[in-house]
Amino acid sequence: MRVLLLTGSHPRHIYIVNRLAELGLVAAHVMEIREAFIPQPPANLEEMDRLNFIRHFADRDEAEQRHFAGHEKVQLEIPTLNVSLAQLNSEETIKWIASQSFDIAISYGVHKLSDELLNVLPKHSWNIHGGLSPWYKGNTTLFWPFFMLRPNWAGMTVHRLSARLDAGDIVHQSVPNLDYGDGLHDVACKAVVQVAKDLSTILTTTSLDQVDYYPQKGNGKLWIGNDWMPQHLRFVYNQYKNDIVDQFLDGKIPRIDPPIISALRNEE
């Protein structure tokens, strides 16, 4: 099976590329060069919120360097087109994609793809979303399960690419195992590792005509960028000291398991 990948450029994105490339699956790669990984805190924050903001993104960087060590760049030679956000949906990018030979396209960590670009992709085109749809669609969707005290809902959804954000039919969902000592960013990184493992299995053991698609049921929630504020970090870092997983595993937080859709054939 030949895969076209469209990904961002952060370590978590490159990790997926390398894991699939190791299996000889990646035929071509479009990489959107993403923004700086550690943003600066907004002006006029209270000192508590400024420190939480700095900690949150520094911890994210540390966690990604630890979990994705060695995946700062693509390790194998793959036909690659590096693009900016402005170039992502350009005519040049669309022509380059159309000139490649592949059976399936998978996106992860790129901005919204235009209808014109989607039109040159094959029937089987998927997106990897960092969040369990339909409950956590949109932005910051590996943070909100912690804010909702449901760390076991911090997972990934592989769904059909569609013009509507994170709304395509679901192919597969992954959640990582939770371990004592896991912080918010550890779980987010482990979710990426798990979906990479699952995708590797699916793409090497399942033909595309065997893939089942499941419509997203219920309204769920689309979390937009403006839903998140630095003040939300007080809940995770000041009230819970980033030990939500430990308290969950100790039974101090009620457990409600998400209804996961799996495409792993050995689970049938």
**How does pLDDT run across 5-31, given as a tens digit for each residue?**
999 999 999 999 999 999 999 999 999
- From CA 170, how far away is CA 212, in angstroms rounded? 8
Tokens representing 209 are 């005509």
Look at residue 266 in the predicted model and tell me its pLDDT.
57
SS3 assignment, position 254? coil
Cα angle, residue 180 at apex, residues 178 and 185 outer, rounded to 5°: 60
Q: What is the mean pLDDT of residues 227-254?
A: 97
* Average per-residue pLDDT for the chain: 94
The answer, yes or no, to whether residue 120 has pLDDT greater than 60, is yes
Residue 79 CB contacts under 8 Å (≥ 6 apart), including other chains: 27, 28, 29, 100
What are the Cα distances from residue 48, in Å, to 127, 143, 232?
A: 36, 19, 11
Look at residue 267 in the predicted model and tell me its pLDDT.
47
Q: How far is CA 163 from the centre of its chain?
A: 18
Split at pLDDT 50, 70, 90, the class of 35 is confident
Q: What is the mean pLDDT of residues 184-211?
A: 97
CB 74 within 8 A of CB 80: yes
Q: What is the mean pLDDT of residues 37-53?
A: 92
The DSSP output letter for 238 is I
- From CA 123, how far away is CA 208, in angstroms rounded? 10
Split at pLDDT 50, 70, 90, the class of 218 is confident
- From CA 48, how far away is CA 54, in angstroms rounded? 10
Look at residue 217 in the predicted model and tell me its pLDDT.
84
**How does pLDDT run across 153-168, given as a tens digit for each residue?**
999 999 999 877 767 9
Look at residue 164 in the predicted model and tell me its pLDDT.
76
**How does pLDDT run across 66-78, given as a tens digit for each residue?**
999 999 999 999 9
Look at residue 268 in the predicted model and tell me its pLDDT.
41
**Listed residue (15, 28, 25, 24) closest to 120, CA to CA:** 28
Sign of the dihedral defined by the CA atoms of residues 70, 176, 213, 158, in that order: negative
CB 151 within 8 A of CB 178: yes
DSSP letter string, 71-119: -SS--S---EEEE-HHHHTSHHHHHHHHTS--SEEEEES--PPPHHHHT
Q: Which residue type, as a one-letter code, is found at position 213?
A: Y
The DSSP output letter for 231 is G
What are the Cα distances from residue 258, in Å, to 21, 104, 136, 206?
A: 31, 28, 11, 24
Domains of the chain, start order: 3-267 (3.40.50.12230)
Phi and psi torsions of 117, nearest 5°: -70, -45
Percent with pLDDT over 70 in the chain: 98
- From CA 86, how far away is CA 176, in angstroms rounded? 34
CB 158 within 8 A of CB 173: yes
Look at residue 265 in the predicted model and tell me its pLDDT.
66
Q: What is the mean pLDDT of residues 176-192?
A: 98
Split at pLDDT 50, 70, 90, the class of 263 is very high
